[in-house]
Structure 1
Amino acid sequence: MDAPPLRERAEAALRAQRLHTPAGDNAVEHYLALREREPDAGVAAALAELQPYVLISTEQALAQQQLDEARRLIGLLARMDAQAPALPRLRESLRVAQERADRDEGARIAEAPKPVPAKPAPSSALARTVPPSAPLPAPVVAKAAPPPAPKETTPPAPVVRSAPEPASLPRLLRDAAPRYPLAARNRRIEGRVQVAFTIQPDGSVTDVRTVSAQPEGLFEQAALAAAARWQFEPTPHRVSTTRTLTFRLPPDSKG
């Protein structure tokens, strides 16, 4: 396909929020095909802006054990940027998840009940030659000794554990403003999204998820994509925290 139709398809998919799904008809794949024909700065910028969305959706697919979808998205991310820092971690997570799924499937098959072959019935001639068995004596049931009386014990003293002090939040080194969704901009809607995330020891952000959104269904994906691009200062341990992103239209667009 020529470059102009590809560009139109990519922009149409972007307007319709088909960022990386469905497979074969989404903005990422159309921009990748366009990059092969016209590797200009606009295409590179569009793919760079879409990359956090692919990253977040990959992590969500892994968390939900949607391994086929995670594998497809990792392939897309590798085509967008073969040197993406998250690729080794995502591939390792996929490998571990696939091994776990294979083990679970093997255990399920091993624990499935096996059919027991039926024993052949004795022939009538053999049945006539076998004398009836003598009645068995009634079993002797031994009387169980009464249980010993419970000993009085002193209840254990309650254990009081002090809660760990909250870890200090590392300093934010690189912020990333969220992309204002086109649907919200056209309808002049403002809002806010609270996201929860984990800061890794190297300062990168993972496990990004939405805590609340007002209104719902408009700004969540943009907030998640922005959070994935944040970079904090290195920390000796993981830190889980939250942050609220506010979406406000510029004053000149509210008229």
Structure 2
Amino acid sequence: MDTRTIRQARFARGAVQPAVYAILVIIAVLAGAAWFLIIKPHQDLTRADLGDHPSTPVAASREAPPPPVNVEAMSLNQLLSEARRAMNEQRLASPAGNNAFEFYLKVLQKQPGNQVATDALRETFPFAATNAEQAINQRDFNDAQRQIDLLAKADPSNYTLNILRSKLDAQRKLLDREQQLAADKEKQQQLAAQKAAADKAEAERAASEQAKSQASEQQQRTAQSRLAQQQAAAEAAARQLQANASQSAAPAGESAGGAAGSHAAVLVKNAPPRYPTAAMRANQEGWVELSFTITASGDVSDVKVLDAQPRHVFDRAAVDAVSRWKYQPATQDGNPVVSNKRQRIEFKL
């Protein structure tokens, strides 16, 4: 290689390096211009439309302003302005009548194919769907259904709608089951309370009946004991009368040359009256005065009530008791004869 060729190669390498540097500088300048003139303004606009951060849906922390009075009469620019305002305040799909989706849908009704509204609905759809899912989780089913219907107007074929509808249906069924279980539990508690109250009332009634029965039995035993005492006293008195009659009849028999004497009827068997149950329960006491006939065989017949206090309470018990009494009949000249007698029967507790 001669000297001329070497010089040309060195010159070519020296000329290529400044050209490469110039191209790199131009590319860097164009990239910076594209960032500041195209990409950054687009991102700023997106952040402004979606509330400063498009990837994080934030629920509105302040109360929503009242909706416009007449939305139908608003122009496209007014609707777009209200939509941007709603986006900035995170009113994507709620509240009803005052949210970005409804304003953008009104824009599309007035001007189908409006690019601003179409792009905004497409970009905002995922965040509005998240808000609808939050409404489902909070069990605000009516508002969740309204938001899902609103999303369906914007993009009816979006698969997210199927997911949201399935979640809404599942949450509704879960709530129905919970409410049914709660109702069943409440009903069971009411039935248990009613049964407990009925069992308690039945136990109290049984205890009251048992107490009354025991009191009645005690009163009856007391009455029977008193009547037995009265019967023993009457029998003792009858024996005493019989003894007195025998003593008084002996001299008379001897004076008559051994003929038998006369004496009154003597009680030999006393049947105590049964205390009436109704009178015992009412703690009533009283007496009955009777007249009756003692036959020549010593039986009692023709029992009649002469007086009673109170009337018609102890009459039957007294008559039944006296009718079972047994006497040694009265005698006259040693022969048994019919006699009459009056007797008062006492009823005391």
Q: Please state which band the TM-score falls in when normalised by the shorter chain.
A: 0.3 to 0.5
TM, length-normalised to structure 1: 0.44
Larger radius of gyration: 2
TM, length-normalised to structure 2: 0.33
Say which structure, 1 or 2, has more relative contact order (CA 8 Å, 6+ apart): 1
